Amino acid sequence: MKLLNLNISFEQYAGIDELKENDAELCKLSEQALVGSYSPYSKFRVGTAIRLASGEIILGSNQENLAYPSGLCAERVALFSIGSNYPDAVIESMAITAQTDAFEILKPVTSCGGCLQVMAEFERKQSAPIEVIFYCLNGEILKVPSVQSLLPFSFVEDRLAVKA
């Protein structure tokens, strides 16, 4: 038996004013994406903004449904839109934020496991890291250099991979 350790590196910011201009812009766009959230049941709005290597920004917001499992998180809404409309695009970074009227969110909200797996697939497909910024409105921000940092044991089965 071996005991191994896994460490990740991430950046922590006290607020949006500490970010580089392009990262701050992406956070503000994720905030704008909240407007498109359809969340009448949870009243928990999530928005994401994704920057492609081309400079184009794609927005996504969570979409709920009365049949709860039929909804979709903001990250997957945006990522699947990219997969459908820009299949060869390279994703540089994404910012994710959340808001609710029920309480004040005091720390960055991170992506769920399903979203992390989809994010990992996009990162693997493009063979390049995707920076992820978790943006708490009026609060702390976390930035990781790669989805691999968030999901080091993502599901991978090479025998299922598409053969070129």
Q: Label each residue of the chain as H, E or C.
A: CCCCCCCCCCEEECCHHHCCHHHHHHHHHHHHHHHHCECCCCCEEEEEEEEECCCCEEEEECECCCCHHHCECHHHHHHHHHHHHCCCCCEEEEEEEEEECCCCCCCCCCCCHHHHHHHHHHHHHHCCCCEEEEECCCCCEEEECCHHHHCCCCCCCHHHCCCC
State the catalytic residue, choosing from 31, 64, 75, 123.
75
18 is catalytic: no
Per the listing, tokens 């390279």 go with: 90
Gap between the Cα atoms of 132 and 51, Å rounded = 11
Gap between the Cα atoms of 58 and 75, Å rounded = 10
Q: Which residues are catalytic?
A: 75
